[in-house]
Amino acid sequence: MRALLDSLKSLYPLDDIVLQRPDLAFATVPAAQVRGLLHHLKEREGFTHLVLLTAVDWLEDGMFQLTYLLHDRARARDLGLRTLIRRDRATMDGIHDLWPTAATYQRELKEMFGIDFPGSPGVDDPFVLEGWTDLPPYRRDFDTKDFSERNFNHREGRVTHDPAAHMKRHLYPDEA
Amino acid sequence: MRDELQKRVVKGPDGVEFEVEPLKDYYCEAPPAEHPPAYLKIVEDLFNWARSQSLWILGFGTGCGAIEMRPLMTPRFDAYRYGVQWRPTPRQSNLFIISGYLSVKTLKRVIRSYEQMQNPKYVVGLGSCTINGGMYWDSYNTIKRLDDYLPVDLYIAGCMPRPEALLAGFETLKHIIREGKAEGANLYARNFDWYKANQKKVIHDWDMPDYNW
């Protein structure tokens, strides 16, 4: 794994390299280099399988982090590539031409985070949220509790007990 | 409205072109009507007894609770000995078990399926999610009260209720039916506008007929 990372480092500007396990590593690359690096990994290094494509919302930094997790079946190793894109211009190049399954991930990211992948098949079709009009729900500035209270009727009678306080009251009624 | 529901000209396999208006041709335009009880109470009681003895469940799992229905079909719990069985289509079933959390997307399909079931029909809410949202009480995508959208005859509480609880629930439902209190379909017909208003409040892209019969 280390040899692979060293050889990649000479070709691409890798950053924040974390060797988590002997068979698992993470690295950060600039968004512009992602496609080239993924192509290289797929064609030259044997990372033929896209495990997942997911996102993290770094609200305070104004960034989305995209994580591409790749798997090399022959050598049984995983490599995670992270890249940061601006939150206010959440657009990224699609990789559906490298892995057709990526189109589904990209469609989900468009719906849940509002990250656009122009040209990805069906990226604008609703996935789970049909007729959604609010902020994309996985963005951290979306208030899910407030949304659910506004949209769905509430049934009275729901009580929440703090377990510690409840047990204290239950076991030692004199002290409460 | 979805494309397949628009008025259009279709060319048949024999080459003849004809006009199709799906909303008129395939669906019933009239709202559902109340079904009056039989002319004698003793006859209605007999009907209700017979209804209670054949609960046919629509094989539609909405959430994780559907997993509790599978063991009921197997020899260990064997719900069939109580006259309960699962059917593949809404037209053949009279009991809809909303099994667990119900997302808005599924709610749309549930409404379609429920309206296609024949009268008299019953709805059982399975699990806490159908009662007050359960663990999904603050979710952006699951409804919190099932009885706002469909007439519910019985709730089986739990997260999840065990198959035994479902068997007990079936027996309670039979009791309710025999007493003549399982009037969900009539309730739905009577308050049709109220139910529709509630349904349309959460389903923002209503692209199907108002009544899917």
Q: Which CATH number fits domain B38-202: 2.40.30.10, 3.40.30.10, 3.40.50.12280, 3.20.20.80?
A: 3.40.50.12280
Interface test with B, best of A111, A130, A138, A141 (most B CBs within 10 A): A130
Nearest 5°: CA angle at B138, between B133 and B139? 85
3-state secondary structure at position B105? helix
- Taking CB atoms and an 8 Å cutoff, what residues of chain A touch B132? 154-155, 157-158
For the segment A79-129, what is each residue's pLDDT rounded down to a tens digit? Answer: 999 999 999 989 999 999 999 999 999 999 999 999 999 999 989 988 888
Is residue A23 over pLDDT 80? yes
A176 in any annotated domain: no
pLDDT of residue A61: 93
Rounded Cα distance between B106 and B91, Å, is 19
Domain ranges of chain B: 1-30, 38-202
Residue A10 lies in a domain: yes
Task: Tell me the whole-structure pTM to 2 decimals.
Answer: 0.86
How do residues A38-52 score in pLDDT, each as one tens digit? 999 999 999 999 999
**Taking an 8 Å Cβ-Cβ cutoff, which residues of chain B contact chain A?**
103-105, 108, 131-133, 137-145, 148, 198, 201-206
Check B204 against A137: CB less than 8 A apart. no
Residue B195 has φ and ψ, to the nearest 5°, of -60, -45
Task: Read off the pLDDT band of A176 (50, 70, 90).
Answer: low
Q: Which of B130, B132, B140 to mutate to test the interface with A (most CBs of A within 10 A)?
A: B140
Our count of domains for chain A comes to: 1
Is residue A46 assigned to a domain?
yes
- Residues from chain A contacting residue B108 (CB–CB below 8 Å): 130
Predicted-complex ipTM score: 0.81
Q: Please, are residues A82 and A91 in contact by the beta-carbon 8 Å criterion?
A: no
Check pLDDT > 80 for residue A158.
no
Residue among A128, A134, A155 whose CB faces B132 most closely: A155
d(CA B98, CA B107): 10
Indicate which CATH number applies to the domain containing A144.
Answer: 3.30.460.80
Query: What mean pLDDT comes out for the span A143-158?
Result: 88
Residues of chain B with pLDDT under 50: none
CB of A151 within 8 Å of a chain B CB? The answer is yes
The pLDDT value recorded for residue B43 is: 94
User: What pLDDT is recorded for position B27?
Assistant: 84
Greatest CA span in chain B, whole angstroms? Answer: 57
Q: Could you list the residue range(s) of the whole structural domain that residue A98 is in?
A: 2-171
